Amino acid sequence: MDGRRARARLLAITLTTLTTIACDDDLTTGNSALPNGAVDDIGITMRDEVEASLSALTLTSSLDPLGVARAPTSPALACVNSSTPEDSDGDGVPDDAVYLFTAPPCRFTGWRGGTLDIVGQLRIQDPAPIQAGFGYEGTLTGLRTRFTTADNEVIYDVTRNGTRVLSGSVSNLILTSDLQVIRTFGGQPDGAVDKEWTLTYSPERNIQINTPIPGGTLDIAGSVDWTRGTEHYVLTVTTPTPLHYNDGCVETVQRIDRGEMHLAGTFPDSEGNQTQGVILVRWNGCSSEPTYGFDAAE
């Protein structure tokens, strides 16, 4: 992971201001605080990674993320198109295509009350170009999203490099991500995150090719390596209460209406000693932001 983290540090990203979300006291027990607001910042970063993974379950929403103001009905209407759109099996996944995002046109209004810009490169390859299916192999190169408030004050940038691989059938999808993520924070160094996790999506009804995914549950398992300044946490990721995607949540970015993610690792306590603990991310309803907390081992 050190090599990937070193490469990620070379990315030139503008330091911006982050509006943090307060931690819900009901989630917090034991040694409730980590230095430098790390609980909230890790929690918010995971919120964004969950939302990005959810959008990555179809090519259409990979190009125009779920919750954007302009939601296309096919890749041909997305904000970006490939110069090599050949799709031999007609499953909506091109045989081998590169998408170069620029903003505009990949600028979306109404994203958490502000604006979302997407720039960078996404390569999509069909692993079985003559057999229709849901799968793809994706390579992200300098793929950056920037959130800006309505008054044009930049809040944060998230830049992703690495791979996503999607496979599955009408009854479930599996998304495996190996990504290096750089996230900016106001008044803090940039966070460097190595994310290796597998998301299993179980729909409430069968999936159809070239259509949006229905509601369903998301089970996530893997690891996150977090580095920011002197902070370094190696975290094991689980969702003991699966996350629920509500496809009835429209005109909102926040479409997970329940579920809980745990990020377990070793953390410093108030005296500087190392102790086991868990960062908690809990979703509480459609359009409601998740809450963040920390449980230290007894």
Asked if the model's pLDDT at residue 32 lies above 90, the reply is no
pLDDT at 85: 87
Number of domains within the chain: 1
Q: For residues 37 and 9, what is the distance between their CA atoms, to the nearest angstrom?
A: 21
Mean pLDDT for all residues in the chain? 86
Q: How confident is the model at residue 272 (pLDDT cuts 50, 70, 90)?
A: confident
Q: For residues 136 and 245, what is the distance between their CA atoms, to the nearest angstrom?
A: 21
Q: How confident is the model at residue 33 (pLDDT cuts 50, 70, 90)?
A: low
pLDDT at 34: 84
Is 203 or 297 the better-scoring residue by pLDDT?
203
Q: How confident is the model at residue 111 (pLDDT cuts 50, 70, 90)?
A: confident
pLDDT at 24: 35
pLDDT at 239: 98
pLDDT at 58: 95
CB-based burial label for 152 (10 Å; 0-12, 13-18, 19+): exposed
The strand pairing partners of 157, in sequence order, are 146
Sign of CA dihedral 251, 142, 222, 36: negative
Asked if the model's pLDDT at residue 241 lies above 70, the reply is yes
CA 283 to chain centre: 15
pLDDT at 77: 62
Is 10 or 68 the better-scoring residue by pLDDT?
68
pLDDT at 238: 98
The answer to whether residues 137 and 124 touch, using CB atoms and an 8 Å cutoff, is: yes
Q: How confident is the model at residue 235 (pLDDT cuts 50, 70, 90)?
A: very high
Domain that residue 266 falls in: 2-296
